[in-house]
Structure 1
C-alpha cells in the first residue's frame, strides 16, 4: 500500500476515474456537481493497493481550515483500512501549510469512520448532492 500526492496527468486522471465510479456511478451525483471549480487549486492524493490506484481524496484551504473533500475508495477495496491512509496523507498536506484545523462534510454513513480518526460532529444533518451529510472538524 502506497499513498501519494497526485501530481501528474496520469495520476489526476486516476483520481477523476475513481471519483466517477464511486460518486457518479455508485451514488448518482451529477458530473457537473462532482467536478467543480476547485479541482486545479485542490491537492489530490491517491492510495494504491497492489500497484493499482483504488482510492482518493482532496484538500484545499477554506477560511484558514483544511477542507477535506471527495474522499472515496473503490467498492471492492473498502474495509482494508485504506481510508485512514488517505486521511493521514491529506492531514499531512494540511499541516505542511501550517493549518491547525480540518473540516469535512461526511456522508452520514461514514460519520463513525471519521469519529475514529478524531473528527467531531458540529452540525445537524444536511443534504449535499441529495445525500445526507454532517459537518465535522478536527484539530491537526
Structure 2
C-alpha cells in the first residue's frame, strides 16, 4: 500500500524587482489582474512598485504566487496579492501573507493595511485584519479597506 501524497512544498521568499523571479512575479500579476480580472494595464503597475518589497511563492521552480509590501509612515500596505489559477484554494495566499507580515515585524513594523477584493475578506480576517470604511470600487472591482490594530 502506498503512503498518501504529501502536500506540495511551497517556498515564499523576498525577491528584487529586477531579478528573474521579480519579473516572473510581474508576469503573474499581469496574468491575474490584467488578463483575468480586466484591470487596465496602466493601473496594475504603479509608482510604488520600484520601491516596494516583493515576495513570491515558488513550487517546483515556478512562481505561483506574489504580493508586495509598501512601507508607509503609518503602516505596511500589502497589495497585489495574486495566485496562479491552478494553485488557488491551497493556502498559497495565506502563506505569502504570513511570511510577508513576519518579515515586516522583523523590521519593527506591526501595523498593516490592505484593500481587499470583497470576495477575499475571509482570508484577511483569518490573519487578523478588520474591515474599515465603506465598500469602494478599484479598477471596476468592489473592495474594502482592512487593517490590523
- Give the structure-2-normalised TM-score: 0.89
Which runs of 5 or more structure 1 residues have no equivalent in the other structure? none
Alignment: residue pair count: 139
Which residue number in structure 2 is paired with residue 138 of structure 1? 148
**Aligned-pair distance for 1:4?**
0.3
Distance in 1, matches of 2:69 and 2:19, equals 18
The structure 1 segments of at least 4 consecutive aligned residues displaced by more than 4 Å after TM superposition are none
Which residue number in structure 2 is paired with residue 116 of structure 1? 126
Distance in 1, matches of 2:101 and 2:25, equals 18
Match of 2:14 among 5, 11, 15: 5
**Aligned-pair distance for 1:105?**
0.2
1:85 matched to 2:95? The reply is yes
CA contact (8 A) 1:6 1:15 kept: no
**Aligned-pair distance for 1:51?**
2.2
Distance in 2, matches of 1:14 and 1:92, equals 23
Which runs of 5 or more structure 2 residues have no equivalent in the other structure? 1-9
Q: Indicate the structure (1 or 2) with the bigger Cα radius of gyration.
A: 2
Q: CA offsets, 1:53-111, max 9 Å, x none?
A: 10000001123200001001011100111111110121122212211210000000001
Give the SS at the match of 1:113. Answer: helix
- Give the structure-1-normalised TM-score: 0.94
Which residue number in structure 1 is paired with residue 26 of structure 2? 16
Match of 1:55 among 54, 57, 65: 65
Which residue number in structure 2 is paired with residue 125 of structure 1? 135
Distance in 2, matches of 1:56 and 1:126, equals 23
